[in-house]
Structure 1
Amino acid sequence: MAMARRTLLSSKNLYYNSSKYYSFSLNRGFASGSDEENDVVVIGGGPAGYVAAIKAAQLGLKTTCIDKRGTLGGTSVNVGSIPSKTLLHHSHLYHEATHSSANWFKFPSVEVDLPALMAQKDEVVSDLTKGIEGLFKKNKVNYVKGYGKFLSPSEIKVDTIDGGETVVKGKNIIIATGSDVKGLPGITIDEDKIVSSTGALALKKIPKKLVVIGAGGYIGLEIGCIWGRLGSEVTIVEFAPQIVPSMDGEVRRQFQRTLEKQKMKFMLKTKVLSVDNSGDGVKLTLEPAAGGDQTVLEGDVVLVSAGRTPFTVGLQLDKIGVETDKVGRILVNESFATTVPGVYAIGDVIPGPMLAHKAMKDGVACVECIAGKEGHLDYDMCPVVVYTHPEVASVGKTEEQVKALGVSYSVRKSPLVTNLSRAKAIYYAEGLLKILAEKETDKILGVHIMAPNAGDLIHEALKALQLGTSGEDLARAWF
C-alpha cells in the first residue's frame, strides 16, 4: 500500500521519525480480528472526529463515533469558534451603529439586548450541532454518547451519558478528543468572575472592566474585541514582550497599534502573581516579568487565555502503551499512527496548529491512510485568521521564518489605504498587505493581510502558494 506523503519544511516540529517508534508497517490497512464490529471507531465528535467518521463511512467502512458532550461539533462548534464568530459579527454591527455609521445615520436609540444576543448565539450552535448529527444519520455513522476509555487497542469502554455502559470494538481506533483550556498556577477558573473562553462567551452582563490574561494566541484578543465593542474597558496582560508571537513581526506591531486605537490596553512583559475574587470584583497582583515593584489591577471579570492543552484525560492511554510527549501530545507518524498498532490520533491531541480546519484535514487524511489511500497534508499551506476588526490573515512563512531559513528574499508591501480604493470608500483604510517571495525565483513564500475582510482575501493567496506562483504572476492576475 502507498505511504502518505507530506511536504513539510518544519516537519521536525510536527512529526516523529517512524523508524524510532515503529517496527510495523506504517500503512498496514485493517488490523486482524474477525469478531470486531467496526472498521473504524472515532473517539471524539469535534472537527477532527466528526469529519473522520463521516469520511470513513463514505469510504464504505463501518464506523462508530463516541462523544462525551452529547452534542456534536466539539469545542469549536459548541463553545469556541462558532459562538465567538457569532458574537464578533453582532458586536461589530453594534459598534458600527454607535460609532462609524453614526456620523451619517441618526438612530433614535441603539441598545444591547444581551439575553437576546446570547439566545441567538445558542440557536446558531444548536442548529449546527443538529446538522452534524443529521450528517451522521445520512452517512450511517453510529453515534454513541458517552465517555470512552481504552480496555485494549481494539476495545473502548463507554460510560454513556444516560448512566449506562457499553463496549465498542474496532479494527482501527482514532483518538480525536481535542484540547482543553490551559490553566495558570494559583488561579482557579470559576466561570463566574474568573472565566475561560467558554465562560467569557456566556457572560450574563457586560463587564465594565475585562482583564484578559494572555495574548499569545488569538482567542483572548477576539473575545476582548467582542466585549470592548459592547462597552467594556479591556486590558490585556501578557508575560511575553509581544502579542501573538507566531504572527509576522511587522504585521503584529501594526495590529497592536490598531487595537490600541480601539482603546484596548496592553500590559506586556507583565507577570500575574495572584488573582483575588473574594470581593465584588477581581484584583490581580502584578509585577514586571523581569522582576520589580508589584501593582494591583482591578476588574469585574478576568479571562484566562493562556492557550490550550491536549485533552486525553481518562482515555487510559498508558494502559495500552500509547506514547505522548512532555506536554501531553500523542506521538504519531506521517500516517497519524500512534506507537500502538491499530490506534491513530488527529487534531489538537497531536503536534501542529490547534485549528478546526487543520483538524478536519487531519481527519480526512487519517481515514484515507487507514483505507490504503494516500492522505496528503501540507501544514505550511494552512491559513490562519484572527477575527478581530480589521481581521488579520496569513498563509506561508513570516519574514522571521524566512530569515531563519537563510533564504534570500524580497518583500512587497502596501498600506491598505494606497492599495485598495474600496477600503477608503467604506471608510476603513487601516491595514497592510505584505508578500514575501524568494529573490532568485520570485516564488511566493508567505502572504500576510490586515484588512476588514482578510479572512476572505487570504484564500486567493493560498491558491497562489499551492500552485508555486511567482509574485509577478500574482500581480498580473485578474481579481
Structure 2
Amino acid sequence: MTVPAQVDCLILGAGGAGYPAAFFLAQAGKSALMVDPIGNLGGDCLAEGCVPSKAVREAALVRGLADKFAHFGLRGAAPAVDWRAVMARKDRVQQTRYAQHGEEIAQGGALFVHGRGAITAPDRARIDAANGSTREVGFRHLILATGSRPARLPIPGAELAITSHELFRLGADLPQPEHLVIIGGGYIGVETASMLQALGTRATVLEYTAQLLPGFDAELATFLHASLAQRVRIELSAQVLGIERNGADFTVRYRQNGQEHTVQGDAVLMATGRVPVLPEGFAHLGLQVEHGHVVVDATLRTTNPQVWAPGDVNGRSMLFHSAVRQSLVAAHCIAAGGQAVDRMRFDAVPMTVFTEPELAHVGLTAAQAEAAFGAGAVAVTHYDYATDSRAQIYGETLGFIKLVFDLRNGLLLGAQIAGMDAAQLIAPLALALEQGLGAAALAETAFPHPMLSEGINKAARAFFSSLSA
C-alpha cells in the first residue's frame, strides 16, 4: 500500500477510539490514514480485554449452571473444567472477530498501516510499518487513539505479577492458577476473581480502599461484596507492600489496620487500573496533560485545535463502547471543519461489571445528585428482584433496580442495577439519560413480560404516580 505524503486526518490507533472515526471520515470524502501496532481493529479490547475475558467468563457461567440444577428440578454432575480448551475457545472468538475486522478494513475506505506512528513536528509524523518501511506523513488533523496499558504499582517485585495482558491475550499459555492473588478490587479485579473462581481457582482480592469497587455507588459495592465474599477472600484497606517468589509460589505482603500480613498463591494478578499510552514525540503536539491524561473538551478536541483525543488517552471514560462514541463525536466535528456539531455526554455512558452477579450503572448516584441539586431535590425508587417473575423463575431473586429522578421535572438523573442481566438492563436507561427522558417515558412504555426489564417500568411508574398524586 502506498502511503501518501499528506492526509486530512492521521489516526494513531485502530481500537474503538480510532476506527469508527477513520471509516466515517473516509466515507465523508476525507483522506484518512489509520496506523496500529496490532495490525487489525479492536485495540486492547479485542487483543486482551473485554472480548477474550468475557469469552472465559461465559464458560464460567455455563459451568455454574450445574450449581443451579436442583432449583430447576434437575440432577447431574457438574462438568469438569478443561482450562486449555476454555482458552482455545477464547482464541477462536478473537480470531473470528479479527477476520471480520479484516473485511471491514478492506471495505472501509481508510488507508491502514500495520505499524507505529511517531510525532516529528506539530503537523507531521513518521510511520514505522511492521514490514520495516518508514514514511513521513503530514496531517491536517490528528486523532490520538493510542489507548492504554495495564498499570503496575511501584512496589518491590511488581514485575513478578501478571496483568490482564498475559491472562487474556491471544494465545495465552498460562496454566490455570490454583490460588490467584489479585491486587486491586476494581472491575478488572473482581471480574477476574468471579470468573476464575467459578472455574475452580481459589482467589484472594486485596483492595487498597475501604470499599470494593472504589468510586461505585455504595449500595452496589456492598451488594457485590456480600455475594462475592461467599466464594472469594476479600481484604479491604490492604496496602500491598511487595511481592516475593518462593519456588513455584509467590508471597504478597500487605499492611492492614497497622499490621503486616502475607498471602501466598501460585500466581499474582496486578489489576490496579490502566494508564494512557502516548506516542513517541508526543511533546511536539503541545497538549495539556493532567494526571497523565490528555485534556479534552466535550468534542474530544485537545488544547491543540488540530488534535483530538478520544478514548482511554483522555481518562474520562475508559470503556470500549465509550471510545466508539467519542471517536464518532471527534469525526463529526472534523468533517464539519472543526465546528462543534456533536458533543460527548460522558455522564450517559453506562458502566458494567461482569461478575456473578452483575452490576451496572449510568449517570448520577443519589448522593451525587443531592450534592449537585441539593438535599430533597431528588427521588430514588427501587425495584426488588425478589418480586420479579423472571428472577423467581431463575431463582435469582437477590438484586435490585434503583432509579434516581429529579423531583423538579421528573427527568432521569441516574440508575444503578445489581443482579442478573444488569449489563443488558442498563442500556435503555442510558438511552433515556442521553435523550433527556424521564419517568413519564419509562412509565408509559410497555416492557416485555416476563422479563426483568419490567422492573424499569414499575420503578418509573411508582415515581410517576407520586408526581401525579
TM-score by length of 2: 0.88
- TM-aligned CA deviation for residue 469 of structure 1: 3.3
Letter in 1 for 2:417: I
- TM-aligned CA deviation for residue 189 of structure 1: 5.2
1:212 paired to 2:182: yes
Q: Which residue of 2 aligns with 1:455?
A: 423
The count of corresponding residues between Structure 1 and Structure 2 is: 435
Q: Which residue of 1 aligns with 2:311?
A: 347
Q: Which residue of 1 aligns with 2:272?
A: 306
Three-state SS of the structure 2 residue aligned to 1:286 is strand
Q: Map 1:181-192 onto structure 2 (within 5 A).
A: 181-188=150-157, 190=159
1:296 paired to 2:262: yes
Provide Cα deviations, 1:299-349, integer angstroms capped at 9, x if missing partner. 11111111111111x421113423322x22112334333333422221111
Separation (CA, whole Å) in 2 of partners of 1:384 and 1:138 = 31
From 317, 330, 337, the equivalent of 2:294 is 330
Q: Which residue of 1 aligns with 2:453?
A: none
Q: Which residue of 1 aligns with 2:454?
A: none
Percent identity between the two aligned chains: 29
From 29, 43, 53, the equivalent of 1:74 is 43
From 79, 95, 107, the equivalent of 1:126 is 95
Report the CA distance shift for 1:318/1:466 in structure 2 as closer, same or farther (over 3 A).
closer
From 209, 219, 232, the equivalent of 1:264 is 232
Q: Which residue of 2 aligns with 1:145?
A: 114
Separation (CA, whole Å) in 2 of partners of 1:68 and 1:273 = 34
Q: Which residue of 2 aligns with 1:194?
A: 161
Q: Which residue of 1 aligns with 2:356?
A: 389
Letter in 2 for 1:249: A
Three-state SS of the structure 2 residue aligned to 1:255 is helix
- The answer to whether the 8 Å contact 1:249/1:400 transfers is no
Q: Which residue of 2 aligns with 1:277?
A: 245
Three-state SS of the structure 2 residue aligned to 1:294 is strand
- TM-aligned CA deviation for residue 432 of structure 1: 1.0
- TM-aligned CA deviation for residue 182 of structure 1: 1.0
Three-state SS of the structure 2 residue aligned to 1:100 is helix
- TM-aligned CA deviation for residue 144 of structure 1: 0.8
Report the CA distance shift for 1:277/1:141 in structure 2 as closer, same or farther (over 3 A).
same
- TM-aligned CA deviation for residue 405 of structure 1: 1.1
Separation (CA, whole Å) in 1 of partners of 2:348 and 2:78 = 46
From 367, 370, 378, the equivalent of 1:409 is 378
Report the CA distance shift for 1:203/1:254 in structure 2 as closer, same or farther (over 3 A).
farther
- TM-aligned CA deviation for residue 82 of structure 1: 0.4
Three-state SS of the structure 2 residue aligned to 1:440 is coil
- The answer to whether the 8 Å contact 2:182/2:205 transfers is yes
- The answer to whether the 8 Å contact 2:40/2:101 transfers is no
Q: Which residue of 2 aligns with 1:365?
A: 329
Report the CA distance shift for 1:460/1:338 in structure 2 as closer, same or farther (over 3 A).
closer
Provide Cα deviations, 1:85-139, integer angstroms capped at 9, x if missing partner. 1111111101212x11266434456211211211111111122123223212102
Letter in 2 for 1:397: L
- The answer to whether the 8 Å contact 2:352/2:360 transfers is yes
Report the CA distance shift for 1:134/1:189 in structure 2 as closer, same or farther (over 3 A).
farther
Letter in 1 for 2:244: D
Q: Map 1:94-133 onto structure 2 (within 5 A).
A: 94-97=63-66, 99-101=67-69, 104-107=73-76, 110-133=79-102
Q: Map 1:34-53 onto structure 2 (within 5 A).
A: 37-53=6-22
- TM-aligned CA deviation for residue 352 of structure 1: 0.6
Provide Cα deviations, 1:341-371, integer angstroms capped at 9, x if missing partner. 4222211111411011111111111011111
- TM-aligned CA deviation for residue 466 of structure 1: 3.3
Separation (CA, whole Å) in 1 of partners of 2:295 and 2:116 = 22
Structure 1 stretches of 4+ with a deviation exceeding 6 A read: none
Q: Which residue of 2 aligns with 1:319?
A: 284
Three-state SS of the structure 1 residue aligned to 2:395 is coil
Letter in 2 for 1:318: A
Separation (CA, whole Å) in 1 of partners of 2:352 and 2:204 = 22
Report the CA distance shift for 1:102/1:159 in structure 2 as closer, same or farther (over 3 A).
farther
Q: Which moved more, 1:162-171 or 1:78-87?
A: 162-171
Q: Identify the structure with bigger relative contact order (alpha carbons < 8 Å, sequence gap 6+).
A: 1
Letter in 2 for 1:304: M
- TM-aligned CA deviation for residue 442 of structure 1: 2.6
- TM-aligned CA deviation for residue 187 of structure 1: 4.6
Q: Which residue of 2 aligns with 1:26?
A: none
Separation (CA, whole Å) in 1 of partners of 2:440 and 2:287 = 48
Runs of 5+ consecutive residues of structure 1 not aligned to the other structure: 1-34
Q: Which residue of 2 aligns with 1:236?
A: 205
- The answer to whether the 8 Å contact 1:96/1:102 transfers is no
Report the CA distance shift for 1:203/1:242 in structure 2 as closer, same or farther (over 3 A).
farther
Q: Which residue of 2 aligns with 1:22?
A: none
Separation (CA, whole Å) in 1 of partners of 2:226 and 2:426 = 22
Report the CA distance shift for 1:108/1:247 in structure 2 as closer, same or farther (over 3 A).
closer
Separation (CA, whole Å) in 2 of partners of 1:258 and 1:86 = 22
Three-state SS of the structure 2 residue aligned to 1:156 is strand
From 10, 28, 32, the equivalent of 1:59 is 28
Separation (CA, whole Å) in 2 of partners of 1:142 and 1:476 = 47
- TM-aligned CA deviation for residue 473 of structure 1: 4.3
Runs of 5+ consecutive residues of structure 2 not aligned to the other structure: 448-469
Separation (CA, whole Å) in 1 of partners of 2:401 and 2:58 = 23
Q: Which residue of 2 aligns with 1:249?
A: 218
Report the CA distance shift for 1:65/1:188 in structure 2 as closer, same or farther (over 3 A).
farther
Separation (CA, whole Å) in 2 of partners of 1:109 and 1:220 = 26
- TM-aligned CA deviation for residue 171 of structure 1: 1.8
- TM-aligned CA deviation for residue 164 of structure 1: 2.9
Separation (CA, whole Å) in 1 of partners of 2:371 and 2:173 = 43
Letter in 2 for 1:462: A
Report the CA distance shift for 1:242/1:94 in structure 2 as closer, same or farther (over 3 A).
same
- The answer to whether the 8 Å contact 1:395/1:458 transfers is yes
Q: Which residue of 1 aligns with 2:434?
A: 466
Separation (CA, whole Å) in 2 of partners of 1:350 and 1:386 = 21
Separation (CA, whole Å) in 2 of partners of 1:173 and 1:109 = 53
Letter in 2 for 1:177: T
